[in-house]
Amino acid sequence: MVTPTPVSTSPASRPAAPASGRGFLPLRRPFVARRPGGRPATALRARPAAAAELVERSVNTIRFLAVDAVEKANSGHPGLPMGCAPLGHVLFDEFLRFNPRNPGWFDRDRFVLSAGHGCMLQYALLHLAGYEGVTMDDLKAFRQWGSRTPGHPENFETQGVEVTTGPLGQGFANAVGLVLAEKHLAARFNKPDITIVDHYTYVILGDGCQMEGVANEASSLDGHWGLGKLIAFYDDNHISIDGSTDIAFTEDVLARYEALGWHTIWVKNGNTGYDDIRAAIKEAKEVKDKPTLIKVTTTIGYGSPNKASTHSVHGSALGSKEVEATRNNLLWHHEPFHVPDDVKRHWCHHFDEGASLEAEWNAKFAEYEKKYQQEAAELNSIISGELPSGWDSALPKYTPESPTDATRNISQQCLNALAEVIPGFLGGSADLASSNMTLLKMFGDFQKDTPEERNIRFGVREHAMGAISNAIALHSPGLIPYCSTFFVFTDYMRAPIRLSALCGSGVIYVMTHDSIGLGEDGPTHQPVEQLFSLRAMPNILVLRPADGTETPGAYRVAVINRQRPSILALSRQKLPQLEGTSVEGVAKGGYVISDNSSGNKPDLILIGTGSELEIAAKAADELRKEGKTVRVVSLVCWELFEEQSEEYKESVLPSEVTSRISIEAGVTLGWEKYIGQKGKSIGIDRFGTSAPAGKIYKELGFTVENVIATAKSL
């Protein structure tokens, strides 16, 4: 085992509390010429540190803004901000590069608080840095209705928050996605004479994040990829909600990360070891070929005489008596929410530095545009999110005469077509690319030595795959990531899918083997409840296309929707190209593909999705031979259909027609909304079985004959 680099001279590994008392800070960094290999010709230097007394006042300002906000709300987590305030000050004030007047400046450093319960640390830092969206009134409204300072960081609520964190470990995996995006764009667009993409990603994670499996998945990938611009700070305070971590977590974290291919450092005195923290960050920035984990040993609730180093300071307010005792202990004799004048003056310099940093980059980009017009246009598309004109015309087109094919195969044609015309289109699979059909054939693999390529090999890591993809989408508006596995394994990645929907990350989830149609692999691999469970999730599009017209239509919808994710449920088995399907119909979620009635009053409405739409169409043909008027509706996406006008929905599903049948190889729950009290659902309210697909479909009633019999029973 490699011994971690110790940077602290303090003999105490865990110093006790003393007996007494939509953004980032810019680092003024002039352009650094690069050698042909891409490395800086000169070392980067951090901003000079402020005087020691001013640093101490700034750190205590951060601590007490957190203490006072939690106390006022009578809710929150003061312990982490109190312990991590020194780290937060040094990182934000001396190393991070950003412009508080323009939180979205492209080449800013990214910061992620994976231990999101300690969000008052981030809010206090953003407030001091001058973000307009984090005022003193916002701090006072912490955790209140309508505030911009929610109980965990939300990228859609608070300026300067890059990603939504809260579920532990997710933010850490997000950080891997952010640094992957930087590495990919730098490899594609940097030139020997102009470095146009050059920023770091920093993340603070705690013991809880370390325990979550998603963090290990993500750190394994990051070590494999050697993403050296990720610097992670492990807040080693030995406390979780239930008490000391000794009750459940005693592993050697640094040894694990070394085994995963990381550089590791241990700052033994994170409470007052400012020079040690600075030295650790500088060392980490010198390591180019691997990520760095800096273990920072801190005291949770530092300064609280009676609650420091206990779980009682983790997730609840200190209480008025302990707040007063802490003020006395740290010699902070100020009213709540006080920011000393010299602290205000010190942090104000970030306005000019941030503006200068961005102006410097803008000038560099102007030079880049002159020399490298095509690359500049592509990068600008990624930065702005503007799609190339006519991009959707590249999608494949099918007719009813085209041969049968699985929608997963049609999906691969769509993916490759989109990658050719959209500069920011990239993605991969959880070790199933050859089965999900997700390989981009014109590109190689994103690897440590080929980061410019666009096929991402996630390995069997569905959970991290989703979280990493979320961050890629949030890094830049024009990055459009897709990720893929079998549809049933959305259960393994439900947390990042939910966060995609919550934070508006437009990931495209390509989920194949969407039903009992996968056959012999049996019920463990046959999704039954997944369709409805995902439809129950807000702000997500679940699309189940039926053929070679609806599948490109689904991709068109997914690409356009950058503020919400899309799930494409695709078949393994071959399906025919149907009469009446349309790209325009998919965009409306539900539409009529055939109808022999007049006056919007058919005798019967058959509603299908995906592979079962064919069954509905064939059953309609047979019933029409018997003189029935039958309408066939493709309800490819419930969410899009619900967004249509009442007039349109009535034109597709007229309320007067109560004879309706839904046909879908999934649970029937939810279909009552569309079939009404008198309709019937043909579905699966049990688990599947292992057998050839045709046999399963027949035994479970997914046949033309059963549809006809059900229709006659209405």
Identify the DSSP state of 48: P
- State how far the Cα of 195 lies from the Cα of 113, in Å rounded to an integer: 28
Q: Is 367 strand, coil or helix?
A: helix
- The letter for the amino acid at 389 is S
How much is the CA Rg of the chain, to the nearest whole Å?
28
Element at 433 (helix H, strand E) = helix 433-436
Burial profile 510-549: b = 16 or more Cβ within 10 angstroms, e = fewer? bbbbbbbbbbeeeeebbbbebbbbbbebeebbbbbbbbbb
The 3-state DSSP class for residue 155 equals coil
Neighbours of 505 (CB within 10 A): 28
- Closest by CA to 464, choosing from 162, 293, 185, 225, is 225
Alpha helix ranges (H) inside 544-677: 550-560, 583-587, 612-625, 638-642, 646-652, 672-675
Burial of 109 (0-12, 13-18, 19+ CB in 10 A): buried
The answer to whether the CB of 620 falls within 8 A of the CB of 602 is: no
Which amino acid is present at 182? E
What values do phi and psi take at 539, rounded to 5? 55, 45
Number of neighbours of residue 142 by Cβ within 10 angstroms:
24
List residues with catalytic annotation. 462
The three-state (H, E, C) secondary structure of 58-123, written as one string: HHHHHHHHHHHHHHHHCCCCCHHHHHHHHHHHHHHHHCCCCCCCCCCCCCCCEEEECCHHHHHHHH
Structural tokens at position 92: 């934000």
Residues 6+ apart with CB under 8 A from 298: 83, 84, 86, 87, 235, 236, 237, 270, 271
Number of H helices, E strands in the chain: 25, 20
Residue with tokens 């996630």: 458
- Give the distance from CA 712 to its chain's centroid: 48
Please list, in sequence order, all residues whose beta carbon lies within 8 angstroms of the beta carbon of residue 25, skipping any fewer than 6 positions away.
Answer: 92, 93, 95, 96, 97, 98, 100, 125, 129, 350, 354
